[in-house]
Structure 1
Amino acid sequence: MPSPLITPARASSDSPLLVAVAEQSGAQRITAPHYHSRGQLLGATRGLLSVDTNSSRWVVPATQAVWIPPGVIHGLRSHGPFEGWSVYVSAASCTDLPDRPRMMTTSGLLREAVARAASWEGDTLNEAQSRLAGVILDEIRTLPEEFLGLPMPQDARLLKIARALSDRPDDERRMEEWAMWAGIAPRTLTRRFVAETGFSFTEWRQRVRLLKSLEMLAAGKSVTTIALDLGYGNVSAFIALFRRTFGATPGRYESLLH
């Protein structure tokens, strides 16, 4: 297991109000589920990260970041060697920051400010550093939210299905078969999936496949292989759906990952 980006003592401290870390490794990074009293904004410099909380899952490219409020359990996995950064914000400074996990599009200003803050040493911020820390907090507070995450249901039966599909998004079982497997009536599954995730079962399964396709692109797989492996009978249909969701073709998106 990789060592923490900051020490547990620093992760639970209120001083300084902001700690930034950037790291580049030749190895994959996998962080087991954990929590700390600081809020955390994390992102990739290159490639993709998968970030999980109890309620959501995100696949995060270098143009975006995920905000984790204090006390929220979360884990991380890089797809390939880890190149990423994190900003840890003291609990006292999180009172007017988002109170739930969210994905956001980063700005050039945020990325440059984080790069500067990652060079700071010590546990006391001088006047100039405090001003730049305030800029970072303003960016976290005001950057637009992205809705490309995957909400996880809370009902234990639905969560069982969701986790199985997350592990094997190419599983072609029909909704009725999933309902029987999990011990829930099909009509109840249909109703509760919408109520708990905001997506129909079919839409949710489509979303988990698209997020899996990002991981496969990062691994260097071809668009045709990805489409067929994920159960799309028509490669053109996969490309069109990908473009509608992510605003770029898979080929164009892949070029942004490397």
Structure 2
Amino acid sequence: MPSISASSPVSPNLALLDLSERADGPPLIAVWGSEKADSEFQLGTRETGWHQHLRGQIFCIENGLVHVRTRRGSWLLPPHRAGWVPPGLPHMASISGVMSGWNVLVAPQAARSLPKEPCVVGVSELMRALVRRAVAWSGQDVLTPAQRRLSAVLLDELRGAPHEPLHLPMPSDRRLLRIAHAVLQAPGDARTLDAWAAWAGLSPRSLTRLCQAELGMSFAQWRQQAGLVHALESLARGESVARVSDALGYATPSNFIAMFRRAFGESPARYFAQRAGAPRAAQMPAEPPGAP
């Protein structure tokens, strides 16, 4: 996510670019980031062009929002959640108001047992503590046996972490893609499946079949997912629940809040308040002497 291709309008972060392209070295390289221009993992508010890395990336932010796009869809990374981008996957990112966070670069061989597709997962206290340890090793070419064991535990934590419903798959079929783009442009459009099918020159049965084949879910599920993505982006920008509810076509804000709670287990206010006040394990206190 953080390094940038040569075609991007933003200057590349050479320090992270070099680390993310390392074929040798330790299985995990962890770096701490901030909005400062000389940070190894530069954040702030910016956009990257399409790019990819030799190493996979596990990254987490403490504030703001990151929107990552791939050829097959997009997903959002809110604060105190971890995003995973597999090695060699082309992607681009929009970074909004992110002041601090961390990034763990995973060697291709170490990433073989990790998810093959990008995802957003929960971050446990153990994962936070392991990342703090790993940042202290970032200058080492060879890890000690104890550090290798801790690296393996960190990868186990990622494998077992619960996935969050923040991914929005995109189709390749041109007719379904036309519908998807129209829904994203106007997420409150209340047209039925039959109406959307007729608009795109499809039968309702064909649209239903295409959604399952290309999106892995029903049209109604995909449209709700698109609404959640829109809601998270809008709420992160400071828009009110009432305004977001209206944009998504809900009759009342309480109906929108109920949908949000079903998806995330809590109300929008609590969702963002908890993430704003989540433990800031990331102030990177010094590790005690002799820590592995």
Settle same-fold status: TM greater than 0.5: yes
SS at match of 1:110: helix
Distance in 2 separating the partners of 1:4 and 1:164: 35
Determine the structure 2 residue equivalent to 1:249.
267
Determine the structure 2 residue equivalent to 1:24.
34
Which amino acid is the alignment partner of residue 117 of structure 2? R
Determine the structure 2 residue equivalent to 1:60.
77
Determine the structure 2 residue equivalent to 1:14.
23
Distance in 1 separating the partners of 2:113 and 2:84: 13
SS at match of 2:50: strand
Which amino acid is the alignment partner of residue 33 of structure 2? E
Distance change >3 Å, CA 2–CA 222, structure 1 → 2: farther
Equivalent position to 2:214, from 187, 192, 196 = 196
Q: Please give the residue correspondences for 1:88-167 in structure 2 after superposition, counting only pairs within 5 Å.
A: 88-127=105-144, 128-167=146-185
Distance in 1 separating the partners of 2:201 and 2:13: 40
Q: Unpaired runs of 5+ in structure 1?
A: none
- Cα distance per residue 1:196-252 (max 9 Å; x no partner): 223222221121111211111111111111111222122111111111111001111
Distance in 2 separating the partners of 1:44 and 1:10: 19
Distance in 1 separating the partners of 2:74 and 2:134: 27
Q: What is the TM-score when the length of structure 2 is the normalising length?
A: 0.78
Determine the structure 2 residue equivalent to 1:39.
56
Q: What is the TM-score when the length of structure 1 is the normalising length?
A: 0.87
- Distance apart, 1:172 and its partner CA: 4.2
Contact kept, 8 Å, 2:165 with 2:263, in 1: the verdict is no
Distance in 2 separating the partners of 1:6 and 1:165: 39
Asked whether 1:205 is paired with 2:205, we answer no
Determine the structure 1 residue equivalent to 2:284.
none
Distance in 2 separating the partners of 1:5 and 1:222: 39
- Distance apart, 1:253 and its partner CA: 1.3
Count of residues in Structure 1 that have an aligned counterpart in Structure 2: 258
Which amino acid is the alignment partner of residue 14 of structure 1? A
Greater Cα offset, 87-96 or 71-80: 71-80
SS at match of 1:34: coil
Contact kept, 8 Å, 1:47 with 1:83, in 2: the verdict is no
- Cα distance per residue 1:107-155 (max 9 Å; x no partner): 1111122133234343513314333322222222332333442222232
Contact kept, 8 Å, 1:34 with 1:73, in 2: the verdict is yes
Identical amino acids, percent of aligned pairs: 41
Distance change >3 Å, CA 129–CA 2, structure 1 → 2: farther
- Distance apart, 1:2 and its partner CA: 5.2
Distance change >3 Å, CA 22–CA 178, structure 1 → 2: farther
Greater Cα offset, 100-109 or 170-179: 170-179
Distance in 1 separating the partners of 2:109 and 2:213: 33
Q: Unpaired runs of 5+ in structure 2?
A: 1-9, 37-43, 277-292
